[in-house]
C-alpha cells in the first residue's frame, strides 16, 4: 500500500462489501459464517434426534414414558409423543 490513506480507502471498500445486505456478492464475515454453521449443525442434530425418537416410539413396544426414562434421553414423554406426531 502506498500509505495510510490508501489502506483506509481499501479497508472501507472491503467493509462496505461485507456489510452490504443488498449486494449479490454473498460475502459474509467469518464470525457470521461460524454462527450459520453452528445453527445448521444444531438443526441437523435436532432433526436426527427427532427422527430416531419417533422411530423408536412408533416401531417398538416402548412407551413415550419408557423412552423418556432412558439416561440418554433428556426430554419429556409428552415431547416424545409430540415429536412422533410431527414426524408422522
Predicted TM-score (pTM) of this structure: 0.65
Which of 72, 78, 77 has the alpha carbon at shortest distance from 49?
72
Which of 71, 73, 29 has the alpha carbon at shortest distance from 54?
73
pLDDT of residue 22: 66
What is the per-residue pLDDT across 19-46, written as a single tens digit (0 to 9) for each? 666 666 666 777 888 898 999 999 999 9
pLDDT of residue 8: 85
Which residue matches cell numbers 459464517? Answer: 33
Q: Is residue 58 within 8 Å of 84, Cβ to Cβ?
A: yes
What is the per-residue pLDDT across 63-88, written as a single tens digit (0 to 9) for each? 999 999 999 999 999 999 999 999 87
Amino acid at each position: 500500500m502506498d500509505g495510510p490513506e490508501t489502506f483506509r480507502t481499501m479497508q472501507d471498500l472491503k467493509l462496505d462489501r461485507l456489510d452490504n445486505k443488498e449486494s449479490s456478492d454473498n460475502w459474509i464475515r467469518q464470525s457470521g459464517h461460524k454462527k450459520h454453521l453452528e445453527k445448521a449443525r444444531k438443526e441437523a442434530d435436532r432433526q436426527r434426534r427427532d427422527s430416531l425418537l419417533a422411530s423408536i416410539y412408533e416401531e417398538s413396544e416402548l412407551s413415550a414414558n419408557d423412552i423418556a426414562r432412558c439416561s440418554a434421553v433428556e426430554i419429556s414423554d409428552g415431547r416424545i409423543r409430540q415429536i412422533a406426531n410431527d414426524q408422522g
